[in-house]
Amino acid sequence: MLRMSPERLDRFMARANAAYYGSRDPFADFTTAPEITQIFGEIFGLWCAVVWQAMGRPSPVVLAEAGPGRGTLMADALRAVRATAADFGNALAVHLIETSPRLRELQALAVPEATWHHALEHMPPRPLLLVANEFLDALPVRQFVRRGQTWSERYVAGGALIERPAEPPQPILDKAAVLEGPMFEISETAIAFTAGLARHLARHGGAAVFIDYGPAEPSAGDSLQAIREKQAANPFTDPGSADLTAHVDFPTLADTAKRAGAAVYGPVPQGIFLTRLGLLQRTDRLARGQKPARAMALITAARRLIEPGQMGRLFKVMGLCHPGLPMLPGFEE
């Protein structure tokens, strides 16, 4: 629905994405790593099993995912865990954080034993292992524009962007003090999610990984984009018809998590992380004994995730954990 009265960009984006994920099959518009190869979810399942060992094998433990899409990553993770880490499989309970009723139905087909929550705050107060792939990029952003000494904020009205004078929040002022450029973004929703997660990990134990795209260094600029049917679309004209995303601000989220009491590792490029965790070896093992066309498809899929010119460099992995845990796997220098 097009609104004529100005709506702050983050509120517009939240409304547009709620409509989008509530009504469309996002996977017609874009392809995510777990949909490219089963090995992606398997690796994160085994990563959780290894970290669970390092945590002292708590039982029960929560295995959670935020924004699970079709549930593919979690289904692949559970299969790998049950095949090779049965103790962890017996100790875990699966919890999914998902707001879209439509996607919850798909997730229930892939992961029937799951329990669903609208927000992290509703998760049980237990040790936690959480994975979030392409979740944070879907959370709403605010955009501020600097001209000389004055600031304005972007709103959407009648399908177009407008600006209104505004005072930016402190994290924007901090970035603007050291970075050039007129445009700065902030996702207060991503910051609140990360702070809540870090508090949970510091209090109840555990670890989490974010896999998403965005720069590893503090940055300025407008990264909002809309994707419809794998093409860039206008984000403002038809809310709910396209997936709206923005780059994840890893440096700000790392600071947030540390201040909330968690240890933080990375971000490291996805290609390096997956290579360290044995993506190529697993692909090789799986490809052996397959028909040539299937073996080739597995290898092409693995390359897509790790090659720098494909998803290997733009996508990054950041780890958060209880400060008493040893270095998380995949983040060793």
> Closer CB to ligand SAH, residue 14 or residue 286?
14
Q: Say whether residue 21 binds ligand SAH (CB under 6 A).
A: yes
- Strands 92-97 and 263-269, how do they pair? unpaired
- In angstroms, the CA 114 to CA 6 distance is 39
**Region from 74-82, 131-139, 147-155, 296-304 binding ligand SAH, contact rule CB under 6 A:** 131-139
The nearer residue to ligand SAH, 182 or 240, going by C-beta atoms, is 240
Report the DSSP beta bridge partners of residue 209.
131, 319
**Which residue is it, tokens 């890893």?**
250
Instruction: State the minimum distance, in angstroms, from the CB of residue 250 to ligand SAH.
Output: 17
69 binds ligand SAH (CB under 6 A): yes
Exactly one of 13, 91, 97, 317 binds ligand SAH (CB under 6 A); that residue is 97
How far are the Cα atoms of 79, 270, 275, 320 from residue 312, in angstroms, in the given order? 25, 5, 10, 21
What token pair was written down for 162? 């407008």
Positions 303 through 322 that interact with ligand SAH (CB under 6 A): none
Residue 29 in contact with ligand SAH, rule: CB under 6 A = no
Distance CA 308, CA 130 (A): 26
Distance, CA of 97 to CA of 114 (rounded, Å): 10
Min dist CB 244 to ligand SAH, Å, is: 10
Q: Which stretch, 91-99, 166-174, 266-274, 311-319, contacts ligand SAH (CB under 6 A)?
A: 91-99
- Indicate the residue among 93 and 110 with the shorter CB distance to ligand SAH: 110
Q: What is the CA radius of gyration of the chain?
A: 20
Tokens of 291: 């028909």
Nearest partner of 33 among 47, 18, 22, 43, judged by Cα: 43
Name the residue nearer to ligand SAH (CB basis): 34 or 329: 34
103 binds ligand SAH (CB under 6 A): yes
Cβ closest to ligand SAH, residue 97 vs residue 298:
97
98 binds ligand SAH (CB under 6 A): yes
Q: Which stretch binds ligand SAH (CB under 6 A): 98-106, 145-153, 171-179, 300-308?
A: 98-106
Q: How far apart are CA 23 and CA 19, in angstroms?
A: 6
How far from the centroid of its chain's Cα atoms is residue 148's Cα? 35
**Part in contact with ligand SAH (CB under 6 A); list of ranges 84-92, 128-136, 168-176, 271-279:** 128-136
Q: What is the spatial distance between Cα 217 and Cα 276, in angstroms, rounded to a whole number?
A: 22
Q: Which residues contact 274 (CB under 8 A, 6 or more apart)?
A: 40, 43, 305, 306, 312
For ligand SAH (CB under 6 A), the number of binding residues is 20
- Scan residues 136-155 and list those touching ligand SAH (CB under 6 A): 138-139
Interface contacts to ligand SAH, rule CB under 6 A: 17, 21, 26, 32, 34-35, 67-69, 73, 97-100, 103, 133-135, 138-139
